[in-house]
Amino acid sequence: MNPSRREFLGSGLAAAAWLTLPGARAASALTRRRSGFGAAVAWADLHADPDLAEAVKTYCTQIVPVYELKWGPLRPTRDAFAFGPADALVDFAERNEMKMRGHNLVWYYGLPDWTREIASPAEAERELTRHIETVVSHYRGRLASWDVVNEPIPDNPKSSRDRRETLWTHFLGESYAGIAFRAAAAADPNARLVVNEYDVEFADPTSQMKRAALRRFALDLLDSGAPLHAIGMQCHLRGDRPIDRDGVTRFVAEMRDEGLDVYVTELDVQDQYLPAPAAERDAIVAQRVQDVLSAISAPAPIGTLLTWGLSDRYSWISQMFPRPDHTPNRPLPLDAGFQPKPFMAAIEKFTRPLA
């Protein structure tokens, strides 16, 4: 809420007058924000769709950019930093009393073509460090946390020591991660620094191994003295894949015992193999959300919980995992008309209203 509106609401009479303005948001909507809850948004969508902006303001205390801080959009050439769209997002967040998270600083995917010219360990370290120093200092004091390393574990790890091969491991081996965390901490000592990973929530052996590898990755970083503060569990859930509730709770408890926080960073549910009827599908989606959030919150309440998009109107799942029957996907807490679904009720069970 901006200060003028808050002052306006401060007086009962003025508030009553405001509520009667045509198109005004209902007072109850202002109370729907949950502490620590937020969503990923793309600037182009937020800018073009006032209903999306309204929904974000109604429900969220945090946002994270879908694209705008990734290397591809941010670094069109070796010397360019295209901060405009991410600046617009952080301005939107601050105007509306929300926090923004940073996503991400190191990722195997979506690197701009010019990075293929990098030819030596020294050059790799120089470019990695320059990127992190420049980007993190640009937002110093304004972003709550950064996904410093995104998705370091391969899809099918053979052992807990397996690491995804990337441009950075090619030149720097595993040292790239410590370099990245130290550069981020130096550029913004107050940002919480995160390693973020997907497919660590499920009961099958591949997911269990991925979780073991993420655990090893985090412990090695801590042992090396790197400033790692939190594990991000992306939670791109599958409607047809059971959650390893006990395994997830054990993992979260162990990470917390190591002094790390655990965030839910990209929650959504792929529903392409679920039954078509909306009510039935929404109930299964909400059950998966309930399963994973109850497992993660068993050791301690979840303080940071973001979904990857807020409304079914804007989700990567519609492009990446469309349904064979061509009915629209329903992967997110609000439907395509911005009405809350059982998914939102599940989130509300694991978050507190704003005080």
Closest CB to ligand XIL among residues 32, 239 = 239
CA 308 to chain CA centroid, Å, is 6
CB nearer to ligand XIL: pick between 66 and 231: 66
291 binds ligand XIL (CB under 6 A): no
Cβ nearer to ligand XIL, comparing 33 with 103: 103
Determine the residue type at 134.
Answer: T
**33 vs 331, beta carbon nearer ligand XIL:** 331
Which CA distances in Å does 58 have to 29, 182, 227, 340, 350?
Answer: 6, 36, 34, 11, 18
What lies within 8 Å, CB to CB, of 87 at 6+ separation is: none
CB 14, min distance to ligand XIL, A: 41
Q: How far is the CB of 245 from ligand XIL (least distance, A)?
A: 23
Q: Does 201 bind ligand XIL (CB under 6 A)?
A: no
Pick from 66, 144, 235, 289: which binds ligand XIL (CB under 6 A)? Answer: 66
Q: Minimum distance from CB of 150 to ligand XIL (Å)? A: 5
**Least distance CB 208 / ligand XIL (angstroms):** 20
Q: Does 335 bind ligand XIL (CB under 6 A)?
A: no
Q: What are phi and psi of 96, to 5 degrees?
A: -110, 25
Shortest CB 294 distance to ligand XIL, Å: 23
Q: How many residues bind ligand XIL (CB under 6 A)?
A: 6
The encoded tokens of residue 249 equal 């709770």
Distance in angstroms (rounded) separating the CA atoms of residues 193 and 105: 10
Q: Cβ closer to ligand XIL: 198 or 343?
A: 198
Q: Which of 169, 258, 248, 246 is nearest to 221 (CA)?
A: 258
Q: Looking at beta carbons only, is 57 or 101 nearer to ligand XIL?
A: 101
> What CA dihedral angle connects 163, 165, 171 and 173, to 10 degrees?
10
Q: How far is the CB of 70 from ligand XIL (least distance, A)?
A: 7
Q: Which is nearer to ligand XIL, 33 or 192 (CB)?
A: 192
Q: Is 234 in the site for ligand XIL (CB under 6 A)?
A: yes
Q: Does 150 bind ligand XIL (CB under 6 A)?
A: yes
Site for ligand XIL in 261-280 (CB under 6 A): 266
Please compute, for residue 218, the number of CA atoms within 13 A of its CA located in the half-sphere on the CB side: 30
Phi, psi at 202, each rounded to 5°: -100, 170
Locate tokens 């978050």: which residue?
A: 351
3-class secondary-structure state, position 195 = strand
Name residue 313's amino acid: R
Residue 125 vs 228, nearer CB to ligand XIL: 228
Rounded Cα–Cα distance for residues 260 and 181 (Å) = 14
User: Is residue 302 within 8 Å of 350, Cβ to Cβ?
Assistant: yes
Cβ atoms < 10 Å from Cβ of 169: 17
Residue with smallest beta-carbon separation from ligand XIL:
316
Instruction: Give the one residue of 8, 81, 316, 338 binding ligand XIL; rule: CB under 6 A.
Output: 316
Task: Give the residues lining the site for ligand XIL (CB under 6 A).
Answer: 66, 150, 198, 234, 266, 316
